[in-house]
Structure 1
Amino acid sequence: MIARELAEWATGEISAPAPVRAAAARHLLDGLGTALAAVRTGAATPALTVARGLGGPAESTILGTAERLGASAAALANGTLVHALDFDDTHAGGLVHATAVVLPAALAVGEERGASGAAVLTAAVAGYETACRVAAAAPHGFHARGLHATMVAGVFSSAVVAARLMGLDAARTADALGIAGSQAGGLLAFLGTGASTKQLHPGFASQAGIIAARLAAAGATGPETVFDGPHGVYDALAAGTTDPGSITAGLGQRWETTAIGIKPWPACQLSHATMAAVLDAMERHGFTSDQVAAVHAVVHPDSASVVCDTGRDLTRPASAYAAKFSLPWCVGAVLADGRVGVDTFAEESLARPEIAALAARVTWDVATAPGVVAADAPGDVTITLTDGRRVTGHVDRSPGGGSAPLTDAALVTKFETNVGRPAPELVRAVTELDSAPDLTDLIRGCAAAVAAHTEHGD
Structure 2
Amino acid sequence: MNAIDPSAAILPARRIAEFAAGLQYQDIPPAVRERARIHILDALGVGLASNAYSFADRTMAGIRALGGEGECTVIGRPERLPLRDAALANGFLIHGLDFDDTHLASIIHATAACLPVALSLGESIGATGQELLAAYAAGMEVSIRIGLAVKGGFHHTGFHATGVVSHFSSAVTAGRLLGLTAEQILNAQGIASSTASGIQVFLEDGAWTKRFHPGWGAVAGITAARLAQNGFVGPKRPYEGKFGLFDSHLQSYADHADIGALHDGLGERWELAETAIKPYPVCHFIHGAADSAIGLRADIPDVDAIESIRILLPEPTMKIVAEPAADKLRPANDYAAKFSAQFVVAACLRLGRFGLAELQPEALADEATLALAARARCEVDPDSAFPTYFSGGVEVVLKDGRRLFRHERVNSGAGERRLDTAGASAKFMGAAGMVLDEAAARRACEAVLTIDGRPVRETMAVLAKPA
Residue-by-residue CA offset, 1:82-115 (whole Å, 9 max, x unaligned):
1111111111011101111221100011001100
- The equivalent residue for 1:454 is none
Shift of 1:161: 0.7
Read off the aligned partner of 1:122 and give its amino acid letter.
A
CA distance in 1, matches of 2:386, 2:190: 28
Shift of 1:191: 0.5
CA distance in 2, matches of 1:213, 1:443: 22
- 1:266-285 alignment, distance < 5 Å: 266-283=281-298, 285=299
Residue-by-residue CA offset, 1:157-209 (whole Å, 9 max, x unaligned):
11111111111111111111011111111110010122111111111111111
Closer, same or farther: CA 412–43 of 1 in aligned 2, 3 Å: farther
Read off the aligned partner of 2:420 and give its amino acid letter.
T
Secondary structure (helix, strand or coil) at the match of 1:163 reads helix
Query: For 2:185, which of 173, 180, 200 is the aligned residue?
Result: 173
Read off the aligned partner of 1:327 and give its amino acid letter.
A
Read off the aligned partner of 1:64 and give its amino acid letter.
G
Q: Give the TM-score normalised by structure 1.
A: 0.94
CA distance in 1, matches of 2:205, 2:103: 26
Shift of 1:311: 6.0
Residue-by-residue CA offset, 1:46-90 (whole Å, 9 max, x unaligned):
332232222267342111124322211111111000111111111
Secondary structure (helix, strand or coil) at the match of 2:396 reads strand
Closer, same or farther: CA 223–312 of 1 in aligned 2, 3 Å: farther
- 1:240-259 alignment, distance < 5 Å: 240=253, 241-259=256-274
- 1:364-383 alignment, distance < 5 Å: 364-367=378-381, 369=383, 372-374=385-387, 376-383=389-396
- The equivalent residue for 2:18 is 8
Read off the aligned partner of 2:267 and give its amino acid letter.
G
- The equivalent residue for 1:455 is none
Query: For 1:313, which of 327, 333, 339 is the aligned residue?
Result: 327
Q: Are the counterparts in 1 of residues 297 and 350 from structure 2 also a CA contact under 8 Å?
A: no
Secondary structure (helix, strand or coil) at the match of 2:292 reads helix
Q: Are the counterparts in 1 of residues 48 and 75 from structure 2 also a CA contact under 8 Å?
A: yes
Q: Are the counterparts in 2 of residues 303 and 374 from structure 1 also a CA contact under 8 Å?
A: no
Gaps spanning 5+ residues in structure 2: where? 1-10
Q: Are the counterparts in 2 of residues 71 and 109 from structure 1 also a CA contact under 8 Å?
A: yes
Read off the aligned partner of 1:5 and give its amino acid letter.
R
- The equivalent residue for 2:416 is 403
CA distance in 2, matches of 1:377, 1:106: 29
CA distance in 1, matches of 2:326, 2:166: 28
Residue-by-residue CA offset, 1:390-421 (whole Å, 9 max, x unaligned):
11112122111112101322211111111115
Q: Are the counterparts in 2 of residues 301 and 374 from structure 1 also a CA contact under 8 Å?
A: no
- 1:100-115 alignment, distance < 5 Å: 100-115=112-127
Shift of 1:33: 0.5
Shift of 1:122: 0.7
Shift of 1:214: 1.3
Q: Are the counterparts in 2 of residues 281 and 394 from structure 1 also a CA contact under 8 Å?
A: no
- 1:219-368 alignment, distance < 5 Å: 219-238=231-250, 239-240=252-253, 241-283=256-298, 285-310=299-324, 312-367=326-381
Structure 1 consecutive aligned stretches of length 4 or more whose deviation exceeds 6 Å: none
Q: Which moved more, 1:237-246 or 1:9-18?
A: 237-246
CA distance in 2, matches of 1:72, 1:405: 33
Secondary structure (helix, strand or coil) at the match of 1:383 reads strand
State whether structure 2 residue 455 is matched by structure 1 residue 442: no
Shift of 1:222: 1.0
CA distance in 1, matches of 2:38, 2:451: 11
Q: Are the counterparts in 2 of residues 270 and 375 from structure 1 also a CA contact under 8 Å?
A: no
**What is the identity percentage for the equivalent residue pairs of Structure 1 and Structure 2?**
39
Secondary structure (helix, strand or coil) at the match of 2:406 reads strand
Q: Which moved more, 1:82-91 or 1:377-386?
A: 377-386
> Aligned residues, how many?
447
Q: Which moved more, 1:308-317 or 1:93-102?
A: 308-317
Residue-by-residue CA offset, 1:356-384 (whole Å, 9 max, x unaligned):
111111112214557x4347142222111
CA distance in 2, matches of 1:244, 1:46: 41
- The equivalent residue for 1:456 is none
Gaps spanning 5+ residues in structure 1: where? 452-458
CA distance in 2, matches of 1:380, 1:373: 13
- The equivalent residue for 1:389 is 402
Q: Are the counterparts in 1 of residues 287 and 391 from structure 2 also a CA contact under 8 Å?
A: no
State whether structure 2 residue 447 is matched by structure 1 residue 429: yes
Residue-by-residue CA offset, 1:111-166 (whole Å, 9 max, x unaligned):
01100001101111001111111111112100000000001111111111111111
Q: Are the counterparts in 2 of residues 47 and 200 from structure 1 also a CA contact under 8 Å?
A: no
Read off the aligned partner of 2:22 and give its amino acid letter.
G
Secondary structure (helix, strand or coil) at the match of 1:137 reads helix
- The equivalent residue for 2:61 is 49
Q: Give the TM-score normalised by structure 2.
A: 0.92
CA distance in 2, matches of 1:26, 1:340: 22
Secondary structure (helix, strand or coil) at the match of 1:357 reads helix
Secondary structure (helix, strand or coil) at the match of 1:287 reads coil
